Structure 1
């Protein structure tokens, strides 16, 4: 979506929720980013997007309410399905 492989962000807060980060990224890259990542009601991550925090799926954490900390590594991946 952004054609960026890696981005380092400085967050002005001690803690930030994942959903707040997505809003910041959509402010930087446009509302299309948020539409691509979140469902229309903006309460869930779209099923074709995998978000990892320090290599752990947010599905195993607290989804959009996961608290991000200093030096966390957040990875956004589109899921790819295939077959014969």
Structure 2
């Protein structure tokens, strides 16, 4: 259920990552209200539990409590490293993009 305290964001998975998410690149997401602010760190686990289709391949998206090496994360086209990485507090209408730099061959 959506209410005024929920956060509306967009997540995008590109460069092959979309395969893990049912071949869907863009997801319009409504995050429920929580006591503490939503951060990118919390969002990663929410994505793993709610959007990831290929559960047995979770290690291709996450390693420990962050994204696996080789995945670039951008918030509104800005590198998350400039925004505080896992600690970035998500804002309404943020566009969060996950880009894989790893390619098989």
How does the TM-score come out when normalised to structure 1? Answer: 0.76
- Give the direction of change, closer, same or farther, for the CA distance of 1:72–1:32 in structure 2 (3 Å limit): farther
Alpha-carbon deviations, 1:20-67, whole Å to 9, x = none?
11111111126556533332x32x432200010000011111111111
Residue 75 of structure 1, aligned match among 69, 90, 97: 97
**How many equivalent residue pairs?**
79
Residue 67 of structure 2 is aligned with which of 33, 45, 52? 45
1:18 pairs with one of 25, 40, 46: 40
Runs of 4+ with deviation above 3 angstroms: 30-34
| Contiguous gaps of at least 5 residues in structure 1 | none
- The alignment yields a C-alpha RMSD, in angstroms, of 2.2
Unaligned runs of 5+ in 2: 1-19
